[in-house]
Amino acid sequence: MGKYYQQEIETASRDQIITRQSELLVKQVRHAWDNLPYYRGKMEEKGVCPEDINGIDDLKKLPFITKNDLRLAYPYGFRAVPESECVRIQSTSGTTGKRVIAFYTQSDVDLWEECCARAIVAAGGTKEDVVHVSYGYGLFTGGMGLHGGSHKVGCLTLPMSSGNTERQLQFMEDLGSTILCCTPSYAQYLSEAINEKGIKNRLRLKAGIFGAEPWSEEMRRDIEAGLGIRAYDIYGLTELSGPGVAFECSQQTGMHINEDHFIAEIIDPDTEEVLPYGRKGELVFTSITKKAFPLIRYRTRDICVLNDEKCPCGRTHVKMSKPMGRSDDMLIVKGVNVFPSQIETVLLELGYSSNYQIVVDRVNLTDTIEVRVEMNANNFSDDLGMITKMENKVLQALRAMLGIGAKVSLVAPKSIQRSEGKAVRVIDRRKI
């Protein structure tokens, strides 16, 4: 097994990629027009018909689909093949509202698993590996996706699901897990538990594939040091299949988008204008191979930058930066845009762990923001004067980053509740 799962596709020339995308786009638009009355209605409203779409240059003529469209058309409105052709449904985690469900044909499942297999191989996986899948199994796509990908590569697959940390550690040690797949917050939790038990040198872990939620470079360094592995990012969303829409290669400098299945665009979220590579904006995807749930110009609300510079790994698919939060993740506090990822960067730079919580409230018509973060073994103190000094230091760094003041509370190690799936980092009491 080389370092690619599907070398011909992963290293295709730009011309080949564009030609393939154009051909598949034309077919997919026709498929949507014929089988999705909801989307056909949107196209008609915009005055576009399938004959207007002859290739990727015409993409911008097509209407967008938003999460709200999926909710309005719930549950069957975006299913484009008869139910008898579908073999699976999966559902979003509902991080930002009502869950969305997506349908899959067998070939949709296969291509999704192929995308995940590419991610595993890019992280150094071969059939000699033992892949420990601690993403949740079930409706959430994390477990099922990496599980299928691991099978395709031929790895020994441990379908651990999340939770039961004792059992996770026992299997990891007894079966010699080499690649760990889970959310970055759960990886950090497992890393703490492993170091507390002092069993790190009894493990064979070499790599981790972590995604489903935002995590910073600082958190990557923490996890890599804590577990003695290389930690790779993986991105995806249920609406497009699940994890594996994009994945990191050996360079760890952005995630290659599987452009043979998804066309990526970056738009200005306010004006909807398409932005060139290198500009920051909202990521929009068109799925060109999925049959059961073919989303065209789907607005992800994830904010990031695309980069088409040549990657030393040899892959030719464009790379996306780590999402810098979702457009709807962004908090507006005292009129200022605040992304949780900015706060995480400050905390980790100052040596705190990523166990933090942001509590936003409104008192007497004024927004308040409190950042609670755990002290850890390296900076723990129970001297109140010392704690106040440390809190002030965090406060100043936050003010420099965000431009507004925040209340900082250093709390005892392990006092913030851990999550086995996606971490809950923001508590916005203003909505309640």
311 binds, among ligand ADP, Zn ion, none (CB under 5 to 8 A by kind): Zn ion
Which three-class secondary structure state does DSSP give residue 16? helix
- Contact characters 233-272, ligand ADP, x per CB under 6 A: xxxxxx----------------------------------
237 versus 408: smaller Cβ distance to ligand ADP:
237
Beta bridge pairs of residue 105? 86
Examine residue 326 and tell whether it contacts ligand ADP (CB under 6 A): yes
> CA angle 62-66-72, nearest 5°?
115
315 binds, among ligand ADP, Zn ion, none (CB under 5 to 8 A by kind): Zn ion
94 binds, among ligand ADP, Zn ion, none (CB under 5 to 8 A by kind): ligand ADP
- The closest of 202, 218, 221, 146 to 179, measured between CA atoms, is 146
| Cis peptide, bond prior to residue 75, ω within 30 of zero | yes
- 252 to 311, contacts with Zn ion by CB under 5 A? 311
Examine residue 374 and tell whether it contacts ligand ADP (CB under 6 A): no
Judged by CB under 5 A, which of 133, 205, 257, 313 binds Zn ion?
313
157 binds, among ligand ADP, Zn ion, none (CB under 5 to 8 A by kind): none
Judged by CB under 6 A, which of 54, 68, 96, 396 binds ligand ADP?
96
Hey, how many other C-beta atoms are within 10 angstroms of the C-beta on 158?
21
Examine residue 187 and tell whether it contacts ligand ADP (CB under 6 A): no
How far CA 31 is from CA of 41, 76, 265, 280, 291, in Å, comes to 14, 16, 21, 31, 8
Least gap, CB of 255 to Zn ion (angstroms): 9
Judged by CB under 6 A, which of 92, 289, 327, 357 binds ligand ADP?
92
DSSP state at residue 136? P
Judged by CB under 6 A, which of 21, 22, 28, 93 binds ligand ADP?
93
Beta bridge pairs of residue 246? 235, 257
Q: Which residues contact 380 (CB under 8 A, 6 or more apart)?
A: 413
- Sign of the C-alpha dihedral, residues 136, 139, 142, 145? positive
Place of tokens 């018509």: 365
Judged by CB under 6 A, which of 300, 316, 327, 353 binds ligand ADP?
300
Which residues of this chain interact with ligand ADP, rule CB under 6 A? 92-96, 211-214, 233-238, 300, 302, 322-323, 326
